[in-house]
Structure 1
């Protein structure tokens, strides 16, 4: 499951189990990306607060399918197969169109995003790519370009935060050898109106 020790649900002490109870899925399943924090439960709390508010908060204005698409794309760029698998399942569920979802994945693999996105949304994906692979090249003009495509400042912040979150979690997963063994792919905390509800279903 990973290259460092992980405490599972059954062996968690009371403090960790209390946190696990907030994030668990069916049959007390804890995603490996979350249980990797088990030796430092406070970092799991920080991870979940960031994740829930960046990706699953009703105050976001960009469509959730688009935010998930950014997550899948950034994870692909970072060669984080774990996050690609998990979040592609979430993307498919939100899109509710299997063929279109598979087309999206092919455009990512072939670096042909322009065949899937309109000009506006393509610009947002381009910014996410630049933030991931060449963040040091970003200038004010890149933000001005996003505004010219119709993104508000708040929406640009959403793209920035989702891309930044996935860069963080990709490095957590890849850097500690986390894999999907035992995971239920695609579970997420979908009660977007309650930022404190972390339950995965």
Structure 2
């Protein structure tokens, strides 16, 4: 499951046990990406706070399914199969359109933004996410202007930026520590957007 030692739920004590209880899914399942932090629980706490506030917060205005789609795209660009599988399942559940979801995954897999079944505004967000993921040092004010011209306001641009940045972080956590999907329940995520402190995965 990992290239470093991790502590399973049944062996956890103290602060780690308390954090595990907050992030569990069915049958006390803890996603492997969270177990990567088990030797330093404070980093799990930080990771979950960023994840919840960036992707699953009531004050976001972009639909959650599209934020998940950005995450799948960024994870594909970073060749992070773990996050692609988890977040595609979450996106598909939220979008409630299997045909469109599968077409989007096919276009993502081929790296073809124009083929993505998204409107022009959403495709512009995907192009921004690609540039920020692949060539962050080349970003310029014109990249933000392109999002404005596509119809995103500045608060939404911040959401797109933060989701892209979060997934680059999560992808590197997974890829750098050898995290696999073995034993995971694919596609669970915090469902209670109204409570930022509710991290339960359902």
Same fold (TM over 0.5): yes
- For residues 74-113 of structure 1, what are the structure 2 equivalents within 5 Å? 74-113=74-113
SS at match of 1:99: helix
The CA deviation string for residues 150-195 of structure 1, in whole angstroms up to 9 with x for no partner, is 1010000000000000000000000100000110000000100000
Deviation at 1:119, TM superposition (A): 1.2
- Residue 128 of structure 2 is matched in structure 1 by 127
Deviation at 1:114, TM superposition (A): 1.4
Structure 1 stretches of 4+ with a deviation exceeding 2 A read: none
- For residues 1-201 of structure 1, what are the structure 2 equivalents within 5 Å? 1-115=1-115, 116-201=117-202
Deviation at 1:112, TM superposition (A): 2.0
The CA deviation string for residues 90-124 of structure 1, in whole angstroms up to 9 with x for no partner, is 01001111111110011111222212222111111
The CA deviation string for residues 46-96 of structure 1, in whole angstroms up to 9 with x for no partner, is 000000000000100111111000000000000000000000000100111
Query: For this pair of structures, how many residues does the alignment match?
Result: 201
Q: CA RMSD in A?
A: 0.7
**Residues in 1 aligned to 2:27 and 2:14: alpha-carbon distance in whole angstroms:** 18
**Residues in 2 aligned to 1:45 and 1:15: alpha-carbon distance in whole angstroms:** 10
**Residues in 2 aligned to 1:5 and 1:171: alpha-carbon distance in whole angstroms:** 17
**Residues in 2 aligned to 1:91 and 1:50: alpha-carbon distance in whole angstroms:** 19
Deviation at 1:142, TM superposition (A): 1.1
**Residues in 1 aligned to 2:114 and 2:61: alpha-carbon distance in whole angstroms:** 23
SS at match of 2:86: helix
**Residues in 1 aligned to 2:143 and 2:98: alpha-carbon distance in whole angstroms:** 33
Q: Is the 8 A contact 2:78 2:171 kept in 1?
A: yes
**Residues in 1 aligned to 2:58 and 2:100: alpha-carbon distance in whole angstroms:** 25
Q: Is the 8 A contact 2:57 2:193 kept in 1?
A: yes
TM-score, normalised by the number of residues in structure 1: 0.98
